[in-house]
Chain A
Amino acid sequence: MFTVFSRIINYGFVNFWRNGWPSAATVAIMTVALLVFIGLIFFNVIMTQAVASIQDKIDISVYFKTNTPEDEILNIKQSIESLSEVKSVEYVSSDRALQIFKEAHKDDPTISQAVNELQTNPLLASLNIKAKRPDQYASIAQYLQAPNLTQYIESLSYAKNQVVIDRLTNIIENVNRGGLVLTIVMALIAGLVVFNTIRLAIYSNRDEIGIMRAVGASNALVRGPYMVEGVIAGVLSGILALIIAGPTVYTVSPYFSNFVPGLNIFRYFTGHLMTLLGYQILFGIGIGVFSSFVAVRRYLRN
């Protein structure tokens, strides 16, 4: 048993090496397929990150009447925080609001002057609320319209932003769904290309398979080496794909950082290097072994 196993492994390595060109072609095709996979992984990372950063920009603000005591506002803040849909609530006092306003318009002398001439602070205290998911803003807004709260509330930004929020929610959902479909389709194409490459390589070996059978080789001994070759090709192409992907990701990373703030795909790449390598090799081996197994089966009859 062990002798057969070690011979199968040995044949696999020797055949892979001696078959030179076909082996190299298989590895090349598999590398391209795996690069497509890395591309898809990054596409998903970028999309998730982009969607998250857009989601982060959506919020609703509650503006309180000037006579509302700060304690009451903090109470309301607490009660909102206890809602399951709410991710965070930020309190902006009227003083803080003024400070922000001044900071934002410090280069505009007319506005700064106008603000300085005011005796009282015209800005209202507010709470900025972020929901966990964009489709939850409607229910938060509804909560805020309860009668015991409306007495303190001057205005609610949700009504003004509702259309924009709804549209963004829609876009985000479509992007997620489209990304999934694209991923599946591309993965399928890459998988089929590899499968057919290996099938062709084994088709050109069909006479050899016939000879081995005539000499009395068992199915395992005929099929095993091809599967070992599949494993070797899988490992090599997995490593090769990452070697090619590294510098590429490094080069394009700054462009994506401009497009989606806070996104650094190169850091993601280095941080997940081992996981990526694992997936690549696993996928490479999987498709290599599966394709060999299926392709050889045709020639194992009689």
Chain B
Amino acid sequence: MIAFQSVYKIYNSHSTALEDINFKVAPGEFLSLVGRSGAGKSTIIKLLIGEERPTRGRIFFGQYEVNKLRDSELPAFRRHIGIVFQDFRLLVAKNAYENVAFALEVGGRPSREIKELVPQVLDMVGLGDKMKNFPHELSGGEKQRVAIARAMVHRPEVIIADEPTGNLDPFHASEIVDLLKRINQLGTTVLLATHDKDIINTIGKRVVTLDRGRIVRDEENGKYILV
């Protein structure tokens, strides 16, 4: 469902972010992208959601060829994906309920459906009692759970999480990873980028290791091995 074919991203002659990236992700898979900071994890995600374009190579997502999408086609494309960021990226002027509802509203879903779905999903991430709270009234772990609720509420085919635990303590981090695993069990493909060794080693799923812009290891049931 996701495929990178000989993808290069070169910013300038001194800085090559990605070199010859090839991998595929099957539907329902849980894939971890690991590597040190600057290894190219975030670049892969930016390319995948169309935030940046590859210098060379092709990127497929379902029926879309992402590297060929026009700016005007991006919003509709992004509604097939749920994205979770390290810095949460919640809308500060909206409360938890509205942040989650927004992901449905952008897709033009009817209000009745939104009123029904949003509380369910917030319940699922354990925030049923904090729906009216604004982001500044929530802890880091809670914010990230709102972000996950927002990413999954429209039932995307893939959830992409870019260092979702980077700003959290180990306890809340494992909470978030458990949530992602549960979402994956329900059939959603999950792509997790992280440099947190402990997390990778507890997941026990496919791991793609990046180093200096290249894929150096791609193993089922992988571990984080320092290179």
Q: Are the C-beta atoms of B91 and A211 separated by less than 8 Å?
A: yes
Q: How far is the CA of A33 from the CA of B103 in the complex (A)?
A: 38
Q: Are the C-beta atoms of A216 and B76 separated by less than 8 Å?
A: yes
Q: How far is the CA of A215 from the CA of B51 in the complex (A)?
A: 12
Partner of B83, one of A14, A208, A214, A301: A214
Q: Are the C-beta atoms of A215 and B150 separated by less than 8 Å?
A: yes
Q: Are the C-beta atoms of A208 and B106 separated by less than 8 Å?
A: no
Smallest Cβ-Cβ distance to B109: which chain A residue: A3
Q: Are the C-beta atoms of A215 and B106 separated by less than 8 Å?
A: yes
Given that A4-B108, A218-B75, A302-B51 are contacting pairs, would A212 and B93 also be in contact in the complex, using a CB cutoff of 8 Å?
Answer: no
Residues of A215-234 whose CB lies within 8 A of B: 215-219, 221
Q: Residues of A contacting B85 with CB < 8 Å?
A: 214
* A11 smallest CB distance to B (angstroms): 9
Q: Residues of A contacting B89 with CB < 8 Å?
A: 207, 210-211, 214
Q: Residues of B contacting A210 with CB < 8 Å?
A: 89
Determine if B161 is an interface residue (Cβ-Cβ < 8 Å): no
Given that A211-B89, A215-B102, A215-B150 are contacting pairs, would A302 and B110 also be in contact in the complex, using a CB cutoff of 8 Å?
Answer: no
Determine if A106 is an interface residue (Cβ-Cβ < 8 Å): no
Q: How far is the CA of A42 from the CA of B90 in the complex (A)?
A: 49
User: Is chain A's interface secondary structure helix, strand, loop, or mixed overall?
Assistant: helix
Interface residues on A, range: 20 to 34
Total interface residues on B, using CB and 8 Å? Answer: 29
Q: Are the C-beta atoms of A212 and B49 separated by less than 8 Å?
A: no
Q: Are the C-beta atoms of B102 and A208 separated by less than 8 Å?
A: no
Q: Are the C-beta atoms of B75 and A219 separated by less than 8 Å?
A: yes
Q: Residues of A contacting B90 with CB < 8 Å?
A: 211
Q: Are the C-beta atoms of B71 and A208 separated by less than 8 Å?
A: no
Q: Residues of A contacting B83 with CB < 8 Å?
A: 214-215
Determine if B115 is an interface residue (Cβ-Cβ < 8 Å): no
Q: Residues of B contacting A4 with CB < 8 Å?
A: 108
Smallest Cβ-Cβ distance to A211: which chain B residue: B89
Listed by A's residue number, 28 A-B pairs whose Cβ atoms lie within 8 Å are A3-B108, A3-B110, A7-B105, A19-B93, A210-B89, A212-B91, A212-B102, A213-B75, A213-B78, A214-B51, A214-B78, A214-B85, A215-B83, A215-B102, A215-B103, A215-B106, A215-B150, A216-B77, A216-B78, A216-B79, A216-B81, A216-B107, A217-B102, A218-B75, A219-B75, A221-B106, A301-B71, A302-B71
